Amino acid sequence: MAQQVTEELRQKDAVAADLATGPESAPRRTADRAPPDAGLHRIVIVGGGAAGLELATKLGDTLGRRGEASVTLVERARSHLWKPLLHEVAAGSMDVDEHDLDYLAQAHWHHFRYRLGEMVGLDRGRKEVILAPTFDEEGREITPRRSFGYDTLVVAIGSVVNDFGTPGVQEHAIALDQTQQAARFNRRLVNACIRAHAQEGPVRPGQLDVAIIGAGATGTELAAELHRTTRAVVAYGLDRVDPEKDIHITLIEAADRILPGLPPRISGAAHGLLTNLGVQVRTGARVSAVQADGVRLADGGFIPSELVVWAAGVKGPDVLRDLDLELSRSNQLVVLPTLQTTRDPDVFAIGDCAWCPREGHPAPVPPRAQAAHQQASHMIRQIRRKLRGRPLEPFVYKDFGSLVSFGEYSAVGNLMASWRGRA
Ligand SMILES: Cc1cc2nc3c(=O)[nH]c(=O)nc-3n(C[C@H](O)[C@H](O)[C@H](O)COP(=O)(O)OP(=O)(O)OC[C@H]3O[C@@H](n4cnc5c(N)ncnc54)[C@H](O)[C@@H]3O)c2cc1C
């Protein structure tokens, strides 16, 4: 027992000491002492989202805790909020501070290292991940440009929205890729309501209207959530704004139905629910440009709207282009069924940034939280096999269905439909 406690203390000391220094490698930055786990297999995970955080935590709890490997998570943010909750942040129904998870604390309790920084490149010859320097609000450097050596690298940096080059999206629309963007949208929405309440004249057409472009799960859930929260904001004394008359929410989808990735009966149920709430649903509507005052459609139509959310499709982050690894058309890392990238067996990719083939299906594994979770679980077993010199196994994605939440209103979904043999 005493030996176990001593070992746990030694491990915690090692983790704490390493939070301050770390196994950075030459020449960009050299640690001034050998890391406590020198000689161990170095597993570096880049990106601590749905896939990477679960992987780092479970590897830390097993290999890290037992001193069988060193586990490092490189992440550009300081805390994690599960991405499927971002529409609630945007709508104002969730307080980020109450639900986010601090990486430093998580690393400490789960026996892995957390290193703050954004991956900007990869030196595959030297097996090093290169990180950009980080700065505080005053512009003072916190960490320099540095690199981390790895024996096994897992890239899990998620995705960014794909605007397909549509003019005006960057300038006038907000995407929900990161917590800051979701919070920024919410501030804009609340400020717009306060401004409308305080102004002399009546509310202009489109002034408080919200257009959501893309009716996948994100856009559809956001439409319902916004319907509720805008009414709540106004109810707190902004009595010169009449939500029924002044606030219109339009959900715009290029496909012929909303939730095009789900079975038609789910789309139909969700469409009916939104329409009953008063959300305007425009299907078969292709957006040609986003302007400061609204959304221009390819058929010449115009939807006045000063608040626009772009939620139509995702692609791999730009940095993936600089890694000299095979990319899909949507800029994701192409992986083998073993989740290894096609050009480098020591570099794996999981989650949204991976283009993973799916046997018997024309489309790859979808960019969804359940895929990220399943790939993280598979990766844990693969890393153990790799360390023991055993052959790797293929990843098989199981679709457990989807649940589209309409917050307090309702939910629709096909949970476990495939398991029951219904699609
Ligand atoms: C609003 C919204 C609602 C959603 N709802 C659902 C849903 O209901 N069901 C569902 O299945 N899926 C949903 N999704 C999709 C789901 O969130 C993603 O599929 C899932 O988060 C992917 O996990 P990931 O680990 O690949 O990426 P993420 O969870 O996005 O994590 C990526 C991490 O990498 C970090 N990172 C990025 N670039 C770098 C870099 N260069 N260096 C270091 N760190 C980096 C990021 O900060 C982030 O922490 C939703 C997505 C959104 C945006």
Q: For 121-176, how does the pLDDT look when each residue is reduced to its tens digit (9 = 90+)?
A: 999 999 999 999 999 999 999 999 999 999 999 999 999 999 999 999 999 999 98
Is the beta carbon of 52 within 6 A of some atom in ligand 1? yes
Is the beta carbon of 323 within 6 A of some atom in ligand 1? no
Q: What pLDDT shows up at residue 36?
A: 64
Strand order in the sheet with 280-282: 173-175, 307-310, 210-213, 249-252, 280-282
* Residue to mutate (ligand 1; options 177, 368, 373; most atoms within 8 A of CB): 368
Is the beta carbon of 173 within 6 A of some atom in ligand 1? no
Phi, psi (degrees; rounded to nearest 5) at 261: -80, -5
- How much is the average pLDDT of 242-269? 92
Instruction: Give the DSSP per-residue string, 332-367.
Output: PEEB-TTSEETTEEEEEE-GGGEE---TT-SS---S
CA nearest to 228, candidates 408, 72, 372: 408
Q: How confident is the model at residue 251 (pLDDT cuts 50, 70, 90)?
A: very high
CA distance 155 to 74: 10
Task: Name residue 27's amino acid.
Answer: P
What tens digit of pLDDT does each residue of 359-370 get? 889 999 999 999
CA distance 258 to 256: 7
Is the beta carbon of 413 within 6 A of some atom in ligand 1? no
SS (H, E, C) 189-234: HHHHHHHHHHCCCCCCCCCCCEEEECCCHHHHHHHHHHHHHHHHHH
What tens digit of pLDDT does each residue of 166-208 get? 999 999 999 988 999 999 999 998 899 999 999 998 888 889 9
Q: What atom in ligand 1 is closest to the CA of residue 80?
A: 49
Q: What pLDDT shows up at residue 195?
A: 92
CB 18 within 8 A of CB 113: yes
Q: What atom in ligand 1 is closest to the CA of residue 120?
A: 41
Q: Ligand 1 centroid to 50 CA: how many Å?
A: 6
Q: Ligand 1 centroid to 281 CA: how many Å?
A: 26
Q: Ligand 1 centroid to 225 CA: how many Å?
A: 20
Is the beta carbon of 214 within 6 A of some atom in ligand 1? no
What tens digit of pLDDT does each residue of 14-49 get? 433 343 344 444 445 533 344 567 789 999 999 999
Is the beta carbon of 87 within 6 A of some atom in ligand 1? yes
Q: Ligand 1 centroid to 220 CA: how many Å?
A: 18
Q: What pLDDT shows up at residue 127?
A: 97
Is the beta carbon of 370 within 6 A of some atom in ligand 1? yes
Is the beta carbon of 217 within 6 A of some atom in ligand 1? yes
Q: Ligand 1 centroid to 141 CA: how many Å?
A: 27
Neighbouring C-beta atoms of residue 262, cutoff 10 Å: 23
Beta strands in 272-410 (DSSP E): 280-282, 287-291, 294-297, 302-304, 307-310, 314-315, 333-334, 340-341, 344-349, 354-355, 403-405
